[in-house]
């Protein structure tokens, strides 16, 4: 059933505590290098402001260790500054999350105004789900909105214990989370056939549950990335110096058996003598065996063309994990070819978060697919069929 959304709440004269996912990449100087997650939250934030509400925004950033000096790059100052540029309104930044500065700024907040609280993971109570910390955070606002899909698979205080402090009729999801859940319902419910999954990345172990669940639903599952070589070695092929999870060979064999022919492995490979793009000497190897000393670094052109044709003729496509080391120009052709196929396909096309989202963004194709998820880990766990406590605490729409 659909969850209660911000359209179901009255924000007039109210202070809304909005859990956003502003865990954005930063440059060495601490500036925001990719503001996609901030931009994705703007429809929710603007809706609340237009309805006469005020915003108290809470997010984590990075992985603070508890050492103030080491954690200095993870303050929310630059994020708040970038939000101010994007939203076109003044944005205040509190120097703490539930301390005196946050309390003073939130208490004085008027309709149409915005406060960004300090990094919520600077408080040890966040990771522990501490009830006292949750009560203190909830006391700053009148209602709660979850618009942080990228963190929905976490049971941290700001995701579960904080919304539990509010009456059920004052809890909702934002437009971003609603959009993510809608596409997941399509993918896991009754997807338009034929359904194709494209799985890449480094490790089979990261995607065991996803592959098991998707094999029940898809017509074809296309494999790329370094995980290819765990599957090939499991079949008895030579993989040169390619990355392989030797402790997952039995798992790979089981998945291949479970797939019953649905799983397609690359028929050619871009190989290299070095993963350093400046030193790399690349060539294309056909077949399933790689020469000694060579590293499989991307799917080959024949595989890329075959995968693109399958995507072109699909009704639904979900993609998670690059086909190769796309960050470096010599190794990106396979990932680019799949991204272009996704962008031009008439199918419902969903791109998982993390590196896959970075790739389509880098290629300028993010606006040409049906959906680009803002959550890597959350998207994967949802594809596994897992339930999230952070969403269980949001009432269903009546």
Rounded CA separation 279/1 (Å): 54
Is 253 annotated in some ligand binding site?
Answer: no
From the CB of residue 376, how many other CB atoms can be counted at a distance below 10 Å?
20
To the question of whether residue 154 is assigned a binding role by annotation, the answer is: yes
Name 198's bridge partners. Answer: 222, 319
- Whether residue 60 is annotated as binding a ligand: the answer is yes
37 is catalytic: yes
Distance, CA of 394 to CA of 398 (rounded, Å) = 12
364 an active-site residue?
no
Residue 327 marked in a binding site: yes
22 is in an annotated binding site: yes
Active site residue 82: no
Catalytic residue selected from 30, 99, 112, 377: 377
Q: How far is CA 367 from CA 82, 169, 276, 316, 362, in A?
A: 21, 34, 31, 17, 11
**Catalytic option among 300, 354, 375, 376:** 354
The most distant pair of C-alpha atoms in the chain lies apart, rounded to whole Å, by: 69
Q: Is 121 annotated as a binding residue?
A: yes
Catalytic one of 37, 78, 93, 233: 37
Q: For residue 354, say whether it is annotated as part of any ligand binding site.
A: yes
Residue 356 marked ligand-binding: yes
Residue 132, phi then psi, degrees to nearest 5: -65, -40
Is residue 37 part of an annotated ligand binding site?
yes
Please indicate if the annotation marks 8 as binding a ligand: no
**Omega before 227 within 30 of 0, i.e. cis:** no
Instruction: Consult the annotation and say whether 313 binds a ligand.
Output: no
For residue 324, indicate whether it is catalytic. Answer: no
Residue 385 annotated as part of some ligand binding site? no
21 is in an annotated binding site: yes
Return all residues near 237 (Cβ < 8 A) that are at least 6 apart. 288, 289, 290
User: Given 39, 203, 253, 312, which residue is catalytic?
Assistant: 203
- The annotated binding site is made up of 21-23, 37, 60-63, 121, 154, 207, 296, 327, 353-356
- The annotated binding site for (2R)-3-phosphoglycerate is made up of 37, 121, 154
- The annotated binding site for substrate is made up of 21-23, 37, 60-63, 121, 154
- Catalytic residues, which ones? 37, 203, 354, 377
């Amino acid at each position: 059933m659909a969850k209660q959304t911000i359209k179901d709440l009255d924000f007039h004269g109210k202070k809304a505590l909005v859990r956003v996912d502003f865990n954005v990449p930063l440059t060495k100087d601490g500036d925001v290098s990719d503001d996609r997650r901030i931009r994705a939250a703007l429809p929710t934030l603007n809706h609340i402001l237009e309805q006469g509400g005020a915003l108290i925004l809470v997010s984590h950033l990075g992985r603070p260790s508890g050492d103030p000096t080491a954690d200095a790059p993870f303050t929310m100052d630059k994020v708040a500054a970038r939000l101010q540029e994007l939203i076109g309104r003044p944005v205040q930044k509190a120097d703490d999350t539930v301390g005196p500065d946050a309390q003073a700024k939130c208490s004085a907040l008027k309709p149409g105004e915005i406060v960004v609280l300090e990094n919520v993971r600077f408080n040890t109570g966040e990771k522990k789900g501490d009830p006292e910390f949750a009560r203190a955070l909830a006391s700053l606002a009148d209602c709660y909105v979850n618009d942080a899909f990228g963190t929905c698979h976490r049971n941290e205080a700001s995701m579960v214990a904080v919304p539990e402090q509010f009456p059920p009729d004052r809890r909702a999801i934002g437009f971003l989370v609603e959009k993510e859940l809608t596409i997941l319902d399509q993918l896991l419910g009754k997807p338009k056939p034929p359904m194709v999954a494209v799985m890449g990345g480094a490790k089979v172990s990261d995607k065991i549950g996803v592959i098991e669940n998707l094999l029940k639903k898809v017509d074809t599952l296309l494999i790329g990335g370094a995980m290819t070589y765990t599957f090939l070695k499991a079949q008895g092929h030579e993989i040169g110096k390619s990355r392989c999870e030797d402790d997952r060979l039995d798992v790979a064999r089981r998945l291949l058996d479970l797939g019953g022919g649905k799983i397609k492995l690359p028929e050619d490979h871009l190989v290299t003598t070095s993963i350093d793009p400046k030193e790399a000497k690349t060539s294309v190897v056909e077949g399933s065996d790689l020469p000694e000393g060579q590293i499989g670094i991307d799917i080959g052109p024949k595989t890329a063309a075959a995968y693109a044709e399958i995507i072109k003729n699909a009704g639904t496509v979900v993609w998670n994990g690059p086909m190769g080391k796309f960050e470096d120009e010599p190794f990106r052709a396979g990932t680019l070819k799949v991204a272009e196929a996704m962008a031009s396909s008439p199918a419902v096309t969903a791109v998982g978060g993390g590196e896959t989202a970075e790739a389509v963004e880098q290629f300028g194709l993010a606006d040409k697919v049906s959906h680009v998820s803002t959550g890597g880990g959350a998207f994967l766990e949802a594809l596994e069929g897992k339930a999230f406590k952070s969403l269980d605490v949001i009432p269903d729409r009546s």
